[in-house]
Amino acid sequence: MSTQPVFIAFQANNDTRPIIDAIMQDNPGAKLNEMPALVKIDCPGRLVVRRETIEEHAGREFDLRELQINLISLAGEVDESEDEFILEWKS
């Protein structure tokens, strides 16, 4: 599996906090870079965003497509289901 880094970047606001907390919890290799008004999460190889963990942090039901509202940019090939949003380089 490729260890080339993937990343995902969100606006830094109250809506994205549970998403960011969830990503950091589920991806031990992820590194959090806080910039002005923007949060970028880098991770070598593979990064998983899990619906269940976000729901735990947000305290409500969460549709993974809600990610798009505050999404700024990402790098990696996307594999998306109702429960997981995965970023990785497949080749």
Return the number of the residue (55 or 84) whose C-beta is nearest another protein: 55
Return the number of the residue (1 or 35) whose C-beta is nearest another protein: 35
Contact 32, 20 (CB under 8 A): yes
Angle at 78 between CA 58 and CA 60, to 5 degrees: 15
> Is residue 68 a contact point for another protein (CB under 8 A)?
no
For residue 17, the minimal CB distance to another protein (Å) is 6
Return the number of the residue (40 or 46) whose C-beta is nearest another protein: 40
Residue among 32, 38, 41, 45 nearest 72 (CA): 38
Q: Bridge partners of 74?
A: 8
- Secondary structure element (H or E) that encloses residue 6, with its range: strand 5-11
d(CA 15, CA 88): 25
Site string for another protein, 27-46 (x = CB under 8 A): -------xxx----------
> Is residue 58 a contact point for another protein (CB under 8 A)?
yes
Interaction site with another protein (CB under 8 A): 14, 17-18, 34-36, 58-60
